[in-house]
């Protein structure tokens, strides 16, 4: 019996005060009085007659690069998912899932590109190239990322110059 699929998960996503449950959602970080729904393990964790689905496995199976459908399927809503992914315990897991999903999609796109490279159907090649080049990332997101990286580089440079200056004084 897959008890997670048989219950109404939305009622297990909020505590008695109506706040989002984050750590308590996971068996490995369970909290007394809160029913965990998921596992942080690579694969589903089975304990007696209960199966705690692996969040990573669910994430990779859904293949939702926007994470919107994933958030609304497995969490209370988008805001709840944002809180979970920002939690220090789970942010490395979420980042790992994102990287692995991107690699999974890129690998499939590359296979498609190789398969259709000799065909005349240009639309399949164009679509595969779009996916391979991560075409779903908006120019605004890329610009914001570039600005963020430039700001970080500037801060690092400033810190290094400050350290050099300070060390020369001693």
pLDDT tens profile 5-62: 555 557 789 888 889 999 999 999 998 989 899 999 999 999 999 999 999 999 999 9
23 shares a domain with 85: yes
Reported pTM: 0.68
Our separate counts of H helices and E strands in the chain read 7, 2
What percent of the chain shows pLDDT beyond 70?
Answer: 82
62 occurs within a structural domain: yes
14 shares a domain with 98: yes
The answer to which of 25-29, 103-107, 146-150 has the lowest mean pLDDT is 146-150
Spatial CB neighbours of 95, under 8 Å, sequence gap ≥ 6: none
Checking if the pLDDT of 3 tops 70, the result is no
Token look-up 């984050």 returns 22
pLDDT recorded at residue 158: 85
84 shares a domain with 21: yes
91 shares a domain with 41: yes
39 occurs within a structural domain: yes
What percent of the chain shows pLDDT beyond 90?
Answer: 49
Domains of the chain: total = 2
**Domain of residue 55, residue span:** 3-105
Domain end position, chosen among 86, 105, 124:
105
131 occurs within a structural domain: no
126 occurs within a structural domain: no
**Higher pLDDT residue, 137 or 77?**
77
33 occurs within a structural domain: yes
82 shares a domain with 28: yes
């Amino acid at each position: 019996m897959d008890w997670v699929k048989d219950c109404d998960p939305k009622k297990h996503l909020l505590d008695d005060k109506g706040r989002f449950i984050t750590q308590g959602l996971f068996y490995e970080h369970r909290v007394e009085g809160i029913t965990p729904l998921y596992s942080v393990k690579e694969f589903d964790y089975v304990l007696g007659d209960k199966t705690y689905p692996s969040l990573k496995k669910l994430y990779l199976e859904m293949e939702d690069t926007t994470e919107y459908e994933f958030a609304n399927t497995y969490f209370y809503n988008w805001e709840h998912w944002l809180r979970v992914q920002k939690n220090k315990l789970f942010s490395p897991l979420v980042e790992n899932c994102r990287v692995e999903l991107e690699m999974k999609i890129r690998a499939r796109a590359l296979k498609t590109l190789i398969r259709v490279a000799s065909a005349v159907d240009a639309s399949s090649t164009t679509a595969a190239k779009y996916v391979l080049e991560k075409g779903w990332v908006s120019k605004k997101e890329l610009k914001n990322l570039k600005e963020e990286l430039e700001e970080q580089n500037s801060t690092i440079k400033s810190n290094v110059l400050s350290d050099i200056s300070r060390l020369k004084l001693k």
